[in-house]
A and B are shown apart, each in its own frame.
Chain A
């Protein structure tokens, strides 16, 4: 039974996603209960899977009964188990938010579950081509969700996202072609063996493959020069969708990048080709600084949060590229923590906008007393993102910096430490406005916010989601030692050092 779970995690949301499409022909409100039921089961299965992985090691499943190097293999180790749980839990949480806030149509929930299926597929797959297919499923669902906003500007943002995202995924596909030419295999574990023995690490084929695959994925992760789709997509999508995709889409792409680095190219490749490591670390550092600088200069809060993601993912990728055990654990912690924090922040901006009409940094002035609970959660999440000690944002950054110090990578240490100051620069400004500035918006929002029936703009569930995200941002710190143990047990390359 246990070895069937990886495939169930992918099949379940696809099947569950088809039901709202059909059911919406009968009843418009059928989407939400079906999606909730599916994701509750999904979260239970993911939890069971992660627990199995943490107690008895890696779980793998041969799709269709074809053995590993020829067939598609689904593999779940500590890292993918943790990400699978994150995907299930966050999508369930955002669903609670969506009940009041989101588009209520059946197709919306169909796409939503399709996106969950794509993200979970990217997480559990052990095959580079299968990863491409799930990357595109994720992409297609995400483009559709972004376009589900009421304004046509959402369609423009979605088209931009589609074109840039497709180029990224296509580059990744081209990279697969190079690796296939070099080794004749697509299975990750098999590739890891054959790279370095069958094809030298510094052969042109392998290097080009690495460049194209990593380049393609960094488009999806939205590192600095390749991030241009992200702010438009996050700012124009409906609140539910921005919370969802900001929490998960880039996160799972960053996970895929880590999977590529550690399970396909392995740490030996990074050691054998220092240029590749430096290029990646350099890209990450540029991303940290440029993302923060752009975030500081934004007026719209949602765009600021989007640019903040560019910077935070620079931090995560830097951790992965440093590739010492501590740095990798730190990057993983920050990856998971960032998903919870950024999702919570976007959800909070949605609530604040509905209640007060404030969308800009100046508009947030004095709103601390108008929406006390959400504003407090927003402040806690902001400080967690900056890295104030008990929060999970601190632990992640601390481990990454320790890893960089261990690797004696001094320029990177400097950038990583500076990144905290830079994060403070844009979040502290916002928290200060929230609590210590004179309000600039006095009236209630002019037009009644979209309520879809119940006559209430913000439900208890929406606020609860934000508060739970804030609580998790602090409480997740307690789970870090366990995560570290699981990662060190199940990620083989980490043990080799």
Chain B
């Protein structure tokens, strides 16, 4: 068990982040915390891709003399794109939250539901 933890700690970190993020998304009543949970969830996925690209003894994928084995650059590129997407999603979400707060004066989901269905 401890060996598995030692050799695969990055995957455990990914699963932990995914779990925490999803739990916050579902359980938290505060909308801002939901958005933070969404970000943690996405960060877990980003780390999953980065961890996929890793290669023991590999160099950064920058071509120079002697080079040697490189880590795969592809997931890095993909995740760069995904991070941009994540940032824009967060921006839109926060903008909506500002609008909601200005109108209803609360960010608590339960209170919002009461106001919303009245």
Measured CB to CB, the residues of A under 8 A from B are 129, 132-133, 136, 139-140, 143-144, 147, 152-153, 155-156, 158-159, 162-163, 166-167, 170, 173-174, 176-177, 180-181, 186
Q: Are B89 and A136 in contact (CB under 8 A)?
A: yes
In the bound complex, residues from chain B placing their C-beta under 8 Å from that of A147 are: 96, 99
Q: Which of A129, A140, A166, A167 has the most CB of B within 10 A?
A: A166
Q: Count A-B pairs with CB separation below 8 Å.
A: 72
Q: Is B65 an interface residue (CB 8 A)?
A: no
Residue of B nearest to A171 (CB): B45
Please, how many angstroms separate the alpha-carbon atoms of A132 and B88 in the complex? Answer: 15
Q: Is B49 an interface residue (CB 8 A)?
A: yes
Number of interface residues of B (CB under 8 A): 32
Known: A129-B78, A133-B85. Is A144-B112 also a contact (CB below 8 A)?
A: no
Q: Are B88 and A140 in contact (CB under 8 A)?
A: yes
Known: A177-B45, A177-B49, A180-B75. Is A144-B100 also a contact (CB below 8 A)?
A: no
Extra 11 A-B pairs, beta carbons < 8 Å, given A159-B100, A167-B41: A140-B88, A152-B104, A155-B96, A156-B100, A156-B112, A162-B89, A163-B35, A167-B22, A174-B45, A177-B75, A180-B52
Instruction: Name the contact of B85 in the complex, choosing from A136, A159, A186 (C-beta under 8 A).
Output: A136
In the bound complex, residues from chain A placing their C-beta under 8 Å from that of B103 are: 152, 155
In the bound complex, residues from chain A placing their C-beta under 8 Å from that of B45 are: 170, 173-174, 177
Interface SS of chain B: helix
Q: Are A162 and B96 in contact (CB under 8 A)?
A: yes
Measured CB to CB, the residues of B under 8 A from A are 18, 22, 25, 31, 34-35, 38, 41-42, 45, 48-49, 52, 74-75, 78, 81-82, 85, 88-89, 92-93, 96-97, 99-100, 102-104, 112, 116
Q: With both chains docked as a complex, state the minimum distance between the C-beta of B54 and any C-beta of chain A, in angstroms.
A: 12
Q: With both chains docked as a complex, state the minimum distance between the C-beta of B100 and any C-beta of chain A, in angstroms.
A: 5
Residue of A nearest to B91 (CB): A140
Q: With both chains docked as a complex, state the minimum distance between the C-beta of A344 and any C-beta of chain B, in angstroms.
A: 29
Q: With both chains docked as a complex, state the minimum distance between the C-beta of A219 and any C-beta of chain B, in angstroms.
A: 13
